[in-house]
Structure 1
Amino acid sequence: MKNLTYKTIVFLGFFVLNQMTGQVVSEQAKKDYDTLTKYFQKHTKDSIKSKIYAKAFLLKAKLENNISRQADGYYMLATISSNEKALIYADSVIRLTKEKDNYVYPAEAHLLKARIFGSKGEYQKSKDELIQANLYANKNENIDQKFKTKYFIAILKSNLGEYQESSNDLRSIVAYYKNKFDQDQKYEYDYIKSLYALGDAHNGNKKYDSAYAINKKAVRSSLHSKDSSLYGRLLLSSGITHYHKKQYQQGLDSINKLKKISTFRTQSNGTLVRADFFLGKIYFEQSDYEKSIHHLKAVDSFAFSKQYFFPSIRNTYELLIRYYKEQENTEKQLFYIDKLLSVDSILDNDFRYLSRQINEEYSTPNLMLEKQEIINSLEKTNKTKVIFVILLSITSLLLIIILIRNDQKKKTYKNRFLELLNDKNPVVDNTKNTLTKRSYKNEQDGIGISEIIVNDILKNLSAFEKNKEFLTPNLTVSGLSKQFKTNSKYLSKVINIHKNKSFSNYVNELRIGYVVEELKSNRKFRKYTIKAIANEIGFNTTEAFSKSFYKTTGIYPSFFLKQLEKQTQNSKTQEIA
């Protein structure tokens, strides 16, 4: 009865706590996403608070039916949960976003799962997730995710004993994250992590001096970093380097320091089992067999209980067999021979197959993609070159046409100038601007102008031309008809028929004819500006004068003046000669 009462109390306590937590989550869900994200990031080391903010974020997203934000919420929960729950949350992210066009997901969720499976030694599952992450990263052209995937593949290769390939990948990864870290401090962890991985790969490649230099740089960076979570792994890598350099005491110091900090800072299974593995090897080299066998047996126990195997683990059983052989303990010797055969079978079946799959499903597609990108780039370059050549050809052709036309224009202008200089009629025959001649009698009959009026108007026009009254500014047909004491329509018609042009053309051509002769004979007048000349002969603007000059003579006044100046200079030269 007492037990039942106690269980009831505990159940009620959990129920009340969940109710209170639910109320807090609901209240927090009223905040905006940015605020909840900020609070979540601030309290990531406090599992209770961080979970409240992550759940509030997810609740808000569900209430708003916001799929993208729901994925963010599940991912937040995954990053602060145990491996088993994290995998479930990651699957929720993938389920929500696998059919969506999302730059971050589901690739980020696949990467999270790959890391979890890798830490558990489940390399086949880790590889499968990395293949999926790589597909989405390539599809979205997400460079960060491509390098995250490349990093995990490099780690997987190291775990499979393919250290040279891993080193080659990790050099580019270190360079990428160093560049990103120089630009943004948030990439510090990724940079230090890549340094650690490269140092570890150098150990595998037996490049111990390189590994030592890399580890030293990484340790220094880790100690200066706010996030020192990588420090334990760096101690292990340093210990491995010391072991290979036969610096056994330094190796023990580094790895035992890792063991010490692992009591208050969680380390991955891979880090802990390798710590025991190398402690066993170092103590064996020092002939401290009791300690060595203790650590080697810990490795064996962990490997089979967790199904966590890696290529170099077989050395554990080789040392155990060797030890019991020297002890003449055939029973134990046979026991560990059988264990080694089992390990070899696992490694042969899983790791060789896995290594082949990495090449087939990750490296080969990436190489094919890279090859296609190069082909596309070359095709694009070739297309660009073809387009450039075509445009250059068209431009050259147009330039040649323009030059030919300009040359023809210059010749035409020059001929026209010479005609004007030799006292020929300045008026150009321009059918577009000159009225077609019509029968005077038909026109006269059409408007009923008497011959007396016509003769009177012609007499006035003759005087108008002789007295150069056309130089008067702002002349109009209305104003001139009043001056002639006649009807403006009559004046306009007489000019149309007898002068074969409109009133404005008639006046403008008289002005241009006058100015041409004046410029030819009056050197002082040539020194005027175009504007001054225009005003002098009755035009209100330079533009109106230039247009009228061109329309009448076929050349522009500026050209006419330049040619006159050249003629003058040539004459002077001839006189001197």
Structure 2
Amino acid sequence: MISYKILKTVFLIFSPLIINAQNDLTKLSYDHLHQLYFKNVGNQKKQILYTNAYMTKAIRENNNIRKAKANYQMALFYYKSDENKAIQYLDSVIKYSKGTNDKFFPAAAYCEKGNFLKYQFKFKEAMINYNLAEKIALQTNIDYYYNVREYIGITKSEDLGEYDEALDIYKECFKYYKSKDVRSSKYSEDYQSIIFGIADCYKSLQNTDSTSYYNKLGYGESQATKNEEYKYLFVLNEGANQVLKKNYKVALDSINKALPKMIEYNNTGNLLAGYYYLGKSYDGLGKKANAVENFIRVDSIYKITKEMTTEFVDGYPYLISYYKNLDDKENQLKYITAYMIIDSTLQKNYRELNQLVYKEYDTPHLISDKERLITSLNNDKTKTYWGLGFSFLVIIGIGGFAINQYKTKKRYRSKFEKIIEEAKVNKKQEFNTENAIKIDTPKIEDIGIGEELINQILDKLNRFENEKGYLESNLTVQMLSSTFDTNSKYISKIVNVYKRKSFTQYINELRIEYAINQLQENNKLRKYTVQALALEFGFNNAESFSTAFYKKAGIKPTYFIKELDLTANN
């Protein structure tokens, strides 16, 4: 599982002060110039302007540590856009800050440089820079020394697979933080991050009891300090640990509690981990279709982020075998191709360290299967050429096709605008959702169910809607009646009378209403494939999702997403 250490160096290095601005920027204090730089994140021209003023002031005063900090700001400026340029500026930071005995530099520059090199899979160079950082920090800033030690531990555990060595480092940090006030704002997050690292290492080493111990410890600390994100990271990690213990139902419960929080905090790495271990849990319970749903979600995230790790790739052999058994050649070929691309990328990035992907299928086998499938699919296409030719002639003969398309497009646009307006109205009405459904006597007599029982089932249906229980895939009226501890016929009758629709229609419309809201609010979801969206909103496949969406909204989900993106861009 992937942990994320939030870098606080920038905020520790500088302590911004507010003063009145003057016409000559170099007359402003260094702290004020630094503050202006960060107030204008996204405005590159202004950021360059303030950094240049910072550098000019430092050169004029021949202040090396300030020159270093100006170069550090430039390194941050190129943090995401140009890693090599950022490294160049960090080298300048190191040059100007050597021998200054500053609390953070050049240690922070070496550490940041190590991070960039690690992202480029240059692990040996990264470790050299981490070691230089810890050597300097040991003399100038003992707290930062243990931050660097944690970066080394993360690299060894998550990138190099050296779990025993990483565990020793984490325990060294754990011992240090135990001597501090670990409930204080200064140390609490660092302490919890270390506990997570220890738990995750033990999980990778298959020591499930120790993993549970540290997950429980971390959960207690995060709850005491009200750190919700870390609390659910420990819940998720324990869910993954329960998969290793083969306690699959317990694992599902923990992972399903944590996943919404990973989405809320945009923690993509652990969202991927959650879906992967959901797949493993369902596989352990013999629910292959559910396992496939979640491994497909993992694939969807891979396609968006392009970030790959050895821990979560063995869902691909599972997908390949699943579709092979179904004789679904297209999907089999699709996931063989995806798996080969990931395998090739990981082998290239980790070649120097000989860290290769675990393969249920070796590469020659994959290549052979891929070629065979392509040949088979091409043969199938050849057989259909005459049929396609005939269909083409029929299509040519259809008059007024272009006019019909124009009218359809116009009608779709009108329906799209109507959906958006209805969504706005529904949001205003959400504040009145507590209004109870009034039950009249004729309806009670018509369906032959007592008033008290009707009220109970309606209350449960309201809770079911509020808790989004309808997102569970393969949901049936029998499953819901079992959850409600009542008769399935009662639920069917009450839904027919009080919701004015069949049970299937009721569930599908709830899912589509939720899908419409989520697609408007979360632009990342709009990048998912229709298949992945179908699984996200409780449907078994893209076709059933598209059909239900069209019945409810009058347009296809692909058209709706396209129009949302166009509206957002405009």
Higher-helix-fraction structure: 1
State the TM-score, normalized to the length of structure 2.
0.47
State the TM-score, normalized to the length of structure 1.
0.47
Structure number with bigger Rg: 1
